[in-house]
């Protein structure tokens, strides 16, 4: 599945969606801004989030142009990324009963939704961890197809964020009836299963790459 452009797009979308639904700073500020500004707050916040990720993606592509040709490095990234995804899935299942949709939100950030998207992403340590492991792994895989691969990966990734946070903004602006705790927990459980599946897939990919390099 990870060996085609379609596979990269689909898997990057599903993994990004699984990460997006986990409560964090971006979700909190999306709820707050949506209550104040309406359904457009979510897409604008993710626009800021996306600007930051494009900058980071360009740094990864430019700075790792030589490193990503090293199969040992590629295999390590694959295994670490896979382990991180499996760990995330286990933590989600462990905490799923305590997860609720909190529509009260938190403090807003000055500068509007776009700035809020940038600042809350930077404030989230898991965002850096994600890009240092899973994101880097996808950059390495996508580079096999040149810039087209990178564009396909990032399109799938950012589309998941836009889809989820746009839905959150709409639900907040229209009322909690569109997303209750039970529906949210079912979604979290589904995402946990997807994370586990892709974690195993990522890890096996890393192990195979190592085997080829060692042969």
Segment 189-211, tens digit of pLDDT: 876 787 788 788 878 878 887 88
CB contact at 8 A, 143 and 150: yes
What pTM was computed for the model?
Answer: 0.72
* Cα separation, 58 vs 100, whole angstroms: 36
The residue behind tokens 């462990």 is 94
- Residue 178 in this model has a pLDDT that exceeds 60: yes
Reading the block at residue 80, the tokens are 């670490």
Give mean pLDDT, residues 96-109: 62
59 C-beta neighbours (distance < 10 Å), count: 11
Q: In this predicted model, which residue has the larger pLDDT, 95 or 49? A: 49
- Residue 26 in this model has a pLDDT that exceeds 90: no
Give mean pLDDT, residues 9-25: 83
* Cα separation, 118 vs 106, whole angstroms: 16
Segment 31-77, tens digit of pLDDT: 777 767 788 889 999 999 999 999 888 888 776 655 655 777 778 87
SS3 category, 105: coil
Residue 95 domain boundaries: 5-214
Domain count within the chain: 1
* Cα separation, 118 vs 148, whole angstroms: 25
- Position 150 scores a pLDDT of 92
Helices (H), the chain: 5-20, 25-37, 41-63, 71-95, 113-122, 125-130, 136-142, 146-174, 181-214
Report which of 176, 46, 11, 157 is spatially closest to residue 105, judged by C-alpha positions.
176
Cβ-Cβ contacts under 8 Å for 21 (sequence gap 6 or more): 164, 184, 187, 188, 191
Average pLDDT, the chain: 80
């Amino acid at each position: 599945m990870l060996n085609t452009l379609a596979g990269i797009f689909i898997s990057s979308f599903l993994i990004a969606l699984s990460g997006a639904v986990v409560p964090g700073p971006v979700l909190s500020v999306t709820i707050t801004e949506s209550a104040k500004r309406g359904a457009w707050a979510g897409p604008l916040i993710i626009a800021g989030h996306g600007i930051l990720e494009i900058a980071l993606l360009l740094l990864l592509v430019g700075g790792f142009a030589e490193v990503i040709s090293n199969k040992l490095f590629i295999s390590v990234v694959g295994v670490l990324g896979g382990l991180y995804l499996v760990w995330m899935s286990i933590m989600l299942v462990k905490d799923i009963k305590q997860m609720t949709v909190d529509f009260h939100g938190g403090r807003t950030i000055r500068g509007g939704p776009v700035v809020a998207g940038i600042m809350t992403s930077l404030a989230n340590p898991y965002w850096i961890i994600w890009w240092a492991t899973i994101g880097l792994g996808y950059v390495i895989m996508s580079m096999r197809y040149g810039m087209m691969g990178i564009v396909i990966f990032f399109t799938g990734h950012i589309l998941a964020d836009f889809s989820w946070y746009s839905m959150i903004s709409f639900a907040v602006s229209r009322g909690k009836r569109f997303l209750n705790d039970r529906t949210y927990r079912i979604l979290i459980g589904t995402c946990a299963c997807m994370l586990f599946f892709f974690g195993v897939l990522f890890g096996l990919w890393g192990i195979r790459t190592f085997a080829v390099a060692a042969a």
